[in-house]
Amino acid sequence: MTGGTEWERYATEGVLLDGFHALKHALRFGARVPVAIARDKAAALALAADLAPDLTGTLEELLNEVPGERLRALVPRPHPTGVAALALRDPARGGVPRASTGRDAPVVVLDNPRNLGNVGAVIRLAAGAGAGGVLTTGDADPWHPSAVRASAGLHFATAVEHREVAALPEGPLYAFDPEGADLRKVPLPRGAMLAFGSERHGLSDEVRARADHLVALPMEPQVSSYNLATSVAMALYHWMARDT
């Protein structure tokens, strides 16, 4: 069966892995990848030998080489590495753990995010920092291909879900807002949720009402805001450095 035919078979149910690094991370974290294609298989395997030698055997078997025009027909905006794949989400892997089950790491809540690149960047941060997961509210799909591309496939390394505000899990909610207490003076407890509004509109009334504490990031006067991913990075670093 050709890569193109397999692609069409799984396109409606698969998560697009756009680029070598997205495929690499999805495989490392146990994603089921039924089809992967490359414009130049030899070049992709050479990249694997350099950056992911643990996966060279798997990729040798998995990758199907397709012409460049075929890749462009299957993927709206091919990655410079010329690699793409489809992964299947596994509901059995579970979602964001409840605080009552012993969750220690914070969960990041993105309140109605508008930029999918920022969503992906936050998921990448959460995976690297060992956060308990990323939840989004609002209309944006956190599993959109643009978000998965920005996360470099690290959606499969942490829990990523969309939820209504009323369905947020247990745990104290620390919402980031300029009117809050300085983060440097706020200890983040076990199982906390860290909520961030959009850069333009800030927190929604729903999340603000649900918040147990308002927290502010330190910022010089006359600076209006940080990028969303930068804000999350600062908060997660504060949590990671709590015992040092």
Instruction: Report phi then psi at 171, rounded to 5.
Output: 120, 150
Q: Which residues are CB-contacts of 72 (< 8 A; sequence separation ≥ 6)?
A: 78
Pick the CATH number of 99-240 from 3.10.180.10, 3.30.420.40, 3.40.190.10, 3.40.1280.10: 3.40.1280.10
Q: DSSP assignment of 190-218, as one string?
A: TT-EEEE-BTTTBS-HHHHHH-SEEEE--
SS3 content of the chain, % helix, strand, coil (to 5): 40, 20, 40
% residues pLDDT > 90 (the chain): 75
Q: Residues 41-65: what's their mean pLDDT?
A: 97
Which of 20-29, 152-161, 193-202 has the lowest average pLDDT?
A: 193-202
Of 158, 104, 103, the C-alpha closest to 136 is 158
Inform me whether the pLDDT recorded for 103 exceeds 80: no
Domains of the chain, by residue range, sit at 3-92, 99-240
Entry pTM: 0.91
The CATH architecture assigned to 3-92 reads: 2-Layer Sandwich (3.30)
**Cα distances (angstroms) measured from residue 159 to each of 126, 206, 235:** 9, 23, 18
